[in-house]
Structure 1
Amino acid sequence: MTAAIAHEPQGRHQSKVAAASGWIGSALEYYDFFIYATAASLVFPQIFFASGNPKTAIVASLATYGVGYVARPVGAFVLGHWGDTHGRKNVLLICLVLMGLSTTAVGLLPTYQQVGILAPVLLVVLRLIQGFAVAGEISGASSMILEHAPFGRRGYFASFTLQGVQAGQILAAAVFLPLTYALSNEAFLSWGWRVPFLLSVLVLVAGYIIRREVEETPAFAEEQAHRDVPKSPVVDALTNHWPDMLRVICMALMNVIPVVATIFGAAYAVQPAYGVGMDKTIYLWIPVIGNIVAVVVIPFVGNLSDRIGRRMPIIVGSLLAGLMSFAYLYAISIRNVPLAFVFSILMWGIVYQGYNAVYPSFYPELFPTRARVSGMAIAQNIGTMLTALLPALFATVAPPGSQNVPLTVGALAFGITAIASIAAWSARETFRVHLNDLGEPGAPAVEKAEYDRLRRQSLAAAG
């Protein structure tokens, strides 16, 4: 076990740089992903599709948003393989550049009035590139941070990946909201919507500079130098670690909570057909406040997982978030805006973070170094892609005019969170397993005394 110390980073600097790299990269990629979602609802139907049938234009625009999720499993296979064979730093730079350039290019696209059908075709191509690129971000960034983090602090450091995701969503809203308030509708449709997309080039430059400073992880370097590295990490993951991949797919279904909070919940609250009639402007603040709370909560939960383990926060967070979905949808049904706000913040901003803050350390710990990025990327993106179908499912089983929408949708959401919690319960605990043993079937847990000794020695070496 003493030899395992060689895997630990030799300075606190690289741990912090890796965490900063993961944070800013995730912030950029999800800023890009969510400004597209906003624009697909607000402006793309008018400027990228034929204006003769507004309903068809809306459906087509939202379909281009869904295309990004279809591309994610493809990106996971390709980028996961690249990250496990060419390094975590290498794949993260590729993800960053692909996402930044494709998003900036959206801001430069001609409109349907200018080039006709070519406009939506180009939009779909760029959205496919976005979905492809984002598939490798979380798995690559989590693996990078995890393998640089001091022993006993992996949960805390890896949580900054998801803090960056939430910050990216806040940034997306912070850019769009002032533009919609300050500009006339004509100016916003003419050029204002392009500003958030063009600004992504600035974050791209900053992210590239930071990521370039991160060294490749010691675990990956040693794997390449001293072990029999498989030619296909994807095949290795699918052949030898499919049970853990299945667990990750099931746990990734926890994306149902953001779906309930921001997609179906929004439609239920503001669409006239449902008859609730909440104000759109007020409702749009729910994800903003929820993400602000999440940014504060995430590192505390990550740190907690270093003390009590990964499984318990995920299990408790999953089940409680599922139960709160009933209360949240009920508050909407009775048109109680303050109560809906409170339950949304509790469900999404706080309780859901028991899962959200911990999975960036738990998922990669389930896989060995040689197949870590592949195993996590493929499984997580398949699970996330499945949740992209949930808004349509919810709208089908609880259409406008149906009775007991909160009970029907809440029961489905709770059932899905129960699946995620069972998957977490069935997984082995990883927080006291050393990096040498991560992802190996039957890896032994480090005894508490040895764990504490190694943690003190690692922290002392980190300065």
Structure 2
Amino acid sequence: MTDPAPAASRPSDESSAPATPSAASPAATPERPSGSGRTIAIASFIGTAIEFYDYYIYGTAAALVLNKLFFPALSPVAGTLASLATFAIGFIARPVGAIVFGHFGDRIGRKATLVVSLLLMGLSTAFVGLLPGYSSIGVAAPILLVVLRVLQGIGLGGEWGGAALLSTEYAPKSRRGLYAAAPQMGSPIGFFAATGVYWALSEGLPKDAFESWGWRVPFLLSFLLVAVGLRIRLRVAETPAFAKLLASRNAVRVPTLEVIRRYPKQLLLGAGAIVVVYVMFYTASTYCLTYTTKTLGVPRNTMLGLTLIAITVLGVTTFVVARQSDLLGRRKLLLGGAVFSLAWSLVMFPLLNTRNPILIAISLSGALLCMGIGWGPLGAYLPELFGTDVRYSGAGIAYNLGGVLGGGVAPLIVAQLGQTRGTTAVGFFMAAMAVISLLSLLALPETRHRKLSEV
């Protein structure tokens, strides 16, 4: 059970707004505009899709071309590790973003904070597409690449918590899982778009053209996507739960310290619960792309096409499981995802090593199925663990701390294990990460029936 918040800082914030306006709906106001449920869902979905697109195109580029362009003096293996290290740096920066954006999100509001996170993420991504390589500006190239990657990480660190709160704080208690599916679906859609753009460029361009300028196109598209996302987010009103908190003048001065003081268990175990989701996803999407194309000799276009199939599985699973979490409970499904991940970790690479496209598709799809089972309920589960006055900070920090281990450090360990110990060791490492999530979830409560004012 969570630690009770002080009575003065826990105003009732349970929202029961219907998804669409009706005769029984409250009158439209600046705080609750007509059609707000639909607008919020669209804003959460499109905003997270854009930000995850920005994040994933970097991962794909790191696996395919960045080692040659920014670390040419290193051996192929060392260059790949260096490019993956820049990928990991983004994860290390994400908790910083969660703390900074969470502070302002819990003090001045969800909407304004999300607009800034979108701008930071989108513009830093777009400028990667304009960055000269090592051959043009020398060591300044990888340094600037790292700086832009850090800014990406800070931006995304502030994105997820706010987008999840937009959905959950507008949702009726009985449909929070369904509402929270909107920001969760942004991840597979953003990943599908990123992989699809790279697949189309890889199919349509000669290898030399792709490696010299074609890889930049997905980054430059971010300029357009930021404009679209900004227009949508500026139309979003503040959530009713936070509006009540502001009216009560009970916003806390330093939300991060309040989270640590009141919710240390939820913070650490929430981070542990999400570790396996990150491990399954980034192993399948980043390391496997490098391993199959450079070690197994599978054509790049084939792997990008097979990855698109697996992402489709992820998207369908995420939506279905998020919706079912309103009926079956968040924790039960998360536990099932951790158990399935534990088992799949041991069969994933034997399937991959066959070099058979059908079995590779099954291997990747199984990994992203595991990820979807865990990813779907998290949009509602993590926010439900924290009170309104610190919810942006608490959910965001827990989510991004899990990302440091599962999405930042783990891919480097996986790459090193794969190089020195073989893929069997990689499978056992992934299984160990699943055990961490399983034990964390066993120590956390079910939250489906909770009113948001009860935490």
> Which interval holds the TM-score relative to the shorter structure?
0.7 to 0.9
Q: Does 1:33 align with 2:55?
A: yes
Question: What code does the residue aligned with 1:194 have?
Answer: R
Change (3 A) 1:195 1:414: same
Q: 2:101 aligns with which of 66, 79, 89?
A: 79
Corresponding residue for 1:461? none
Corresponding residue for 2:313? 293
Q: Does 1:100 align with 2:122?
A: yes
Corresponding residue for 1:8? 16
Q: How big is the shift at 1:424?
A: 1.9
Corresponding residue for 2:266? 244
Task: Write the distance in 1 (CA, Å) between the matches of 2:138 and 2:83.
Answer: 15
Q: Does 1:209 align with 2:226?
A: no
- Counterparts of 1:114-129 in structure 2, within 5 Å, are 114-129=136-151
Please state whether the residue corresponding to 2:17 is helix, strand or coil.
Answer: coil
Q: RMSD of aligned C-alpha atoms? A: 2.4
TM-score by length of 1: 0.86
Q: How big is the shift at 1:201?
A: 1.4
Change (3 A) 1:201 1:223: same
Corresponding residue for 2:381? 362
Partner deviation per Cα, 1:415-454 (whole Å, 9 max, x = no partner): 32122123223222211112322xx2xxxxxxxxxxxxxx
Partner deviation per Cα, 1:116-166 (whole Å, 9 max, x = no partner): 333222222111110110001111100111001123111011012121111
The count of aligned residue pairs is 429
Corresponding residue for 2:7? none
Change (3 A) 1:71 1:352: closer
Question: What code does the residue aligned with 2:133 have?
Answer: T
Q: How big is the shift at 1:234?
A: 0.6
CA contact 1:323–1:410 (8 Å) conserved in 2: no
Q: 2:394 aligns with which of 375, 390, 401?
A: 375
Where do 5+ consecutive residues of structure 1 fail to align? 441-463
Q: How big is the shift at 1:414?
A: 2.3
Q: How big is the shift at 1:5?
A: 8.5
What is the identity percentage for the equivalent residue pairs of Structure 1 and Structure 2? 34
CA contact 1:229–1:370 (8 Å) conserved in 2: yes
Q: Does 1:412 align with 2:395?
A: no
Change (3 A) 1:36 1:261: closer
CA contact 2:48–2:160 (8 Å) conserved in 1: yes
Corresponding residue for 1:458? none
Q: Does 1:24 align with 2:46?
A: yes
Question: What code does the residue aligned with 2:141 have?
Answer: A
Change (3 A) 1:180 1:397: closer
Query: Relative to structure 2, which stretch is displaced further, 335-344 or 353-362?
Result: 335-344
- Counterparts of 1:431-450 in structure 2, within 5 Å, are 431-437=448-454, 440=455
Please state whether the residue corresponding to 2:169 is helix, strand or coil.
Answer: helix
Corresponding residue for 1:258? 281
Q: How big is the shift at 1:346?
A: 3.0
CA contact 2:18–2:37 (8 Å) conserved in 1: no
Task: Write the distance in 1 (CA, Å) between the matches of 2:393 and 2:146.
Answer: 26
Task: Write the distance in 2 (CA, Å) between the matches of 1:398 and 1:113.
Answer: 30
Task: Write the distance in 2 (CA, Å) between the matches of 1:278 and 1:196.
Answer: 23
Task: Write the distance in 2 (CA, Å) between the matches of 1:333 and 1:36.
Answer: 25
Corresponding residue for 1:141? 163
TM-score by length of 2: 0.87
Corresponding residue for 1:453? none
- Counterparts of 1:160-239 in structure 2, within 5 Å, are 160-226=182-248, 228-239=250-261
CA contact 1:163–1:294 (8 Å) conserved in 2: no
Change (3 A) 1:260 1:103: closer
Change (3 A) 1:71 1:199: same
Task: Write the distance in 1 (CA, Å) between the matches of 2:247 and 2:316.
Answer: 40
Q: How big is the shift at 1:4?
A: 6.0
Please state whether the residue corresponding to 2:452 is helix, strand or coil.
Answer: coil
Change (3 A) 1:79 1:281: same
Corresponding residue for 2:25? none
CA contact 1:9–1:218 (8 Å) conserved in 2: no
Partner deviation per Cα, 1:32-81 (whole Å, 9 max, x = no partner): 11111222233333433455866655443333222211211211111111
Question: What code does the residue aligned with 1:25 have?
Answer: G
Task: Write the distance in 1 (CA, Å) between the matches of 2:236 and 2:415.
Answer: 45
Task: Write the distance in 2 (CA, Å) between the matches of 1:22 and 1:149.
Answer: 13
Corresponding residue for 1:456? none
Q: Does 1:332 align with 2:352?
A: yes
Q: How big is the shift at 1:208?
A: 0.9
Change (3 A) 1:335 1:119: closer
CA contact 2:292–2:298 (8 Å) conserved in 1: yes
